[in-house]
Structure 1
Amino acid sequence: MSDALINGLAGAGGGIIAQLITYPLQTVNTRQQTDRDPKKTKRKLGTIEQMCQVVKHEGWERLYGGLTPSLVGTAASQGVYYYFYQVFRNKAETAALKRFNKGNGDGTVGMFSSLLVAAISGCVNVMLTNPIWVVVTRMQTYRKASIKEKPTRSLSNVSEDDVQIAAVEPPPFGTGHAVQEVYDEAGILGFWKGVFPTLIMVSNPSIQFMLYETLLKKLKARRASSVKGKTGVTALEVFLLGAVAKLGATVVTYPLLVVKSRLQARQVTDGDKKLQYKGTLDAILKMIRYEGFYGFYKGMSTKIVQSVLAAAVLFMIKEELVKGARLLLTSNAVSINKGKRPP
């Protein structure tokens, strides 16, 4: 099994576990990002308060709306990303070694090369998995509300007290409904809504991995100098490094994430033109005009908690899975070689 495949599978496994742990936070955050009513003056609910409101009015299941396609998307995104990241990084390491043999550099992948590798991997990932995330956004922002039954008589002939309005449970909003809604709204191209800001957002994992690899390299170098020959890091250290790297990347790129969510959510087709977005630039200009720069940071505190926790868990689990897989493969190889030895 190749090193790239091991990293791809480990990344997918770590991503799924991190997603399961932090999904309610992600749902609330997506709703905060897509809240585009600039006239709201009521007190803004905190993350926990908003989660409680969703449970109270819509049920526990709405906190996990879109979980199934999200898990598929997470497995696909992390698998694709880590696979191509390792493939491109191996090529970068080979090139760095060749330069070292020629007397240039120290034989390691530099910061710029790490950034480039992460960016290319991110672009491949975005183009392949964007349709999944459009569907997930639709399901996360779907709000379960009762449907009022229309009165059977003309309102002009009866008083308000005579009108009977019954709350009817709406039909469930599943993956198929979300897919159909996106297709009816914009056709096949609708599944690539928000792809432009998402492509720009490859800088998020690029910055994240650049910071992570840089911090990891420094930690290993420091450990090697203090404990001769020992460069290993613990699961807790990987957890903390992943958290710090993701925090830095999230703060820098969060406005793009808000724009992407606005474009991928269900679009307003009638009513206030201020809430209708024709594209990335239109969304940015309207947000600046009607909401101010604050609109680009809606729900940021929730996102920081969710993304930092998810990234830290993902890095920790991925590294442990990679170690376990390599150990297992090494043990199997040793066993096979022992079995081939002549008596």
Structure 2
Amino acid sequence: MSSALANGLAGAGGGIIAQIITYPLQTVNTRQQTERVAKKGGNLLVSDASARTQTHRGTLLQILQVIRSEGWGGLYSGLKPSLFGTAASQGIYYYFYQVFKNKAEAIAVSRKKKGVGDGTVGMLSWLVVAAIAGSLNVLLTIPIWVLVTRMQTHTQAEKKIMEGKREAILREASESGSTGPSTIQDKLAQLELIRPHPYGTLNAAKEVYCEAGIAGFWKGIIPTLIMVCNPSIQFMIYETSLKRLRAKRAVNRHGLKNVTSLEVFLLGAVAKLGATVSTYPLLVVKSRLQAKQEIGGNIALRYTGTLDAIIKMIRYEGLRGFYKGMSTKIVQSVFAASVLFMIKEELVKAYLVLAHGSRTLLSTLVK
């Protein structure tokens, strides 16, 4: 097994475990990102007072609210496609990352032999390697994440649609003045009996296709491709920090180069924190584009593309709209990245030990 394939499988395994552990936070964060609330003095029509309340409610309270209203299943909406997407995403990313990393290291060694450089891969090279791997990953896996976003925000979208219908009944009665109180109550009572229909992966796929055809599965591709800089920044920080740590270990009196699991965990956390803070606005735009567009029941809340989303968010919600749920995302992504890095490194080490043992056993048998 090649080192690239080993890293790909290890990355997939680490990603699945990290995703399962942090998925409830991811669900709540996606809902926070797609919630529309007008800035002070803005023209965005949000009559539902609970929308404002929910925006300012703490993450833990939002989790408890989801459990109360939807059960534990609400926190894990879209988990199955998400796990598949995580395995595919991490596997593809780490495979190509290792392939291009090996080439970058080989080029660096070749340049050193020619008297150019010190034989190590520079920061810019790490960025390029991570960017290429990330772009390939995005193009191949974004349809999965469109479905996951739809499934995570389905209940939220259904509630908004029901609120819009309730407001329409009350507005119609107010404007016409001909509908009696009993009739209004009957209509509202009938509305209350309607419950969100079952919503699985196939339902999400059909909905996306009916809305925008095949192109709908690549909604948010522009901000997602731009967000390739997130793992690029993350891996630049991680690889640079890891290289410096190993260099310090190499010059100490024991000459120890090994890095512990805890150190890998902390390096992964620092790297992901830096990447998340710098690219979070793009993540919000991506989630808005991939969520069901009827979520707000208002044309001002529907986006035709990336630029339209950015303009409307600035106009109606202000700059803080781009940072909704960032604290939740930082906790979720930093912890997930730390777990992923730690497990991945341990799996790669286990593979190297097994591979070395197999080669030793094979050579013994041959003799």
Counterpart in 2 of 1:184?
210
Query: In 2, distance between residues paired with 1:288 and 1:270?
Result: 16
2:269 maps to 243
Report the 3-state secondary structure (helix = DSSP H, G, I; strand = E; otherwise coil) of the residue aligned with 1:105: coil
Q: Does 2:142 correspond to 1:119?
A: no
Q: Which residue of 2 aligns with 1:143?
A: 155
For 1:9, the aligned partner's letter is L
Offset of 1:230 from its aligned partner? 1.5
* 1:103 counterpart SS class: coil
- Distance, in Å, in 1 between the alignment partners of 2:327 and 2:365 is 57
Please point out which of 94, 97, 118 is paired with 2:106: 94
Q: Which amino acid aligns with 1:159?
A: S
Tell whether 2:18 aligns with 1:12.
no
Is 1:159 aligned to residue 198 of structure 2?
no
Distance 1:158 1:239 in 2: 62
Q: CA deviation at 1:161?
A: 9.2
Q: CA distance change for structure 1 residues 270 and 19 in 2, over 3 Å: closer, same or farther? A: closer
Establish whether residue 2 from structure 1 lines up as the match of residue 2 from structure 2: yes
Distance of aligned partners of 1:162 and 1:207 in 2 relative to their CA distance in 1, 3 Å threshold: closer
- Structure 2 distance, partners of 1:158, 1:202, is 55
CA distance in 2, matches of 1:94, 1:313: 29
> Which deviates more from structure 2 when the two are superposed, residues 197-206 or residues 163-172?
163-172
Letter of the structure 2 residue corresponding to residue 97 of structure 1: V
Report whether the alignment pairs 1:337 with 2:363. Answer: yes
CA apart distance, 1:229: 2.9
Q: Once the 2 structures are TM-superposed, how far is the Cα of residue 59 of structure 1 from its aligned partner?
A: 1.2
Q: Residue 176 and residue 41 in structure 1: after superposition, are their counterparts in 2 closer, same or farther (change >3 A)? A: closer
Rounded Cα–Cα distance in structure 2 between residues aligned with 1:302 and 1:206 = 22
Moved more, 249-258 or 227-236: 227-236
CA offsets per residue over residues 125-177 of structure 1, 9 Å max, x none?
000000000000000001176889x9xxxx95882598354635433210010
Could you list the per-position Cα deviations for residues 214-245 of structure 1 after superposition, in whole angstroms to 9, with x for gaps in the alignment? 00001111111114431000000000000000
Amino acid at match of 1:100: K
The aligned runs of 1:172-251 (5 Å cut-off) are: 172-251=198-277
Q: Secondary structure at the match of 1:99?
A: helix
SS in 2 for 1:42: helix
Counterparts of 2:329 and 2:26, CA distance in 1: 7
In structure 2, the residue matched to 1:42 is 53
Distance 1:185 1:331, change over 3 A: same
What SS does the corresponding residue of 1:283 show, helix, strand or coil?
Answer: helix
Would the alpha carbon gap of residues 37 and 339 (structure 1) be closer, same or farther in structure 2, given more than 3 Å must change? same
Indicate the residue corresponding to 1:81 in structure 2.
93
| Contact persistence 2:150–2:291 (CA under 8 A) | yes
Structure with the largest fraction of helix: 2
Q: Which whole-Å CA distance do the structure 2 matches of 1:214 and 1:158 have between them? A: 69
Query: What 5-or-longer segments of structure 2 have no aligned partner?
Result: 39-45, 167-177
Q: Does 2:154 align with 1:131?
A: no
Give the conservation status (yes or no) of the 8 Å contact 1:37–1:275: no
Distance (Å, rounded) in 2 between the aligned partners of 1:271 and 1:141? 14
Structure 1 residue aligned with 2:314: 288
Alignment partners' CA distance in 1, 2:199 and 2:338: 32
2:71 pairs with 1:59: yes
Summarize the Cα distance change of 1:140–1:227 in structure 2 as closer, same or farther, 3 Å threshold: farther
The equivalent position to 2:345 in structure 1, one of 319, 323, 330, is 319
TM-score by length of 2: 0.87
Q: Percent identity?
A: 64
Q: CA deviation at 1:20?
A: 0.3
Distance 1:88 1:130 in 2: 21
Shift of 1:213: 0.3
Q: Which runs of 4+ in 1 moved over 4 A?
A: 144-148, 155-158
Following superposition, the deviation at residue 58 of structure 1 comes to 1.3
Please say which of residues 196-205 and 157-166 is displaced more in the overlay: 157-166
Question: Given that residues 155 and 196 in structure 2 are in contact (C-alpha distance below 8 angstroms), is that contact kept between their aligned partners in structure 1?
Answer: no
Please give the alpha-carbon distance, in whole angstroms, between the structure 1 residues aligned to 2:68 and 2:184. Answer: 28
2:25 corresponding residue in structure 1? 25
* Distance in 1 of aligned mates of 2:184 and 2:2: 72
Per-residue CA deviations over 1:185-220 (Å, capped at 9, x if unaligned) read 000000000000000000000000000000000111
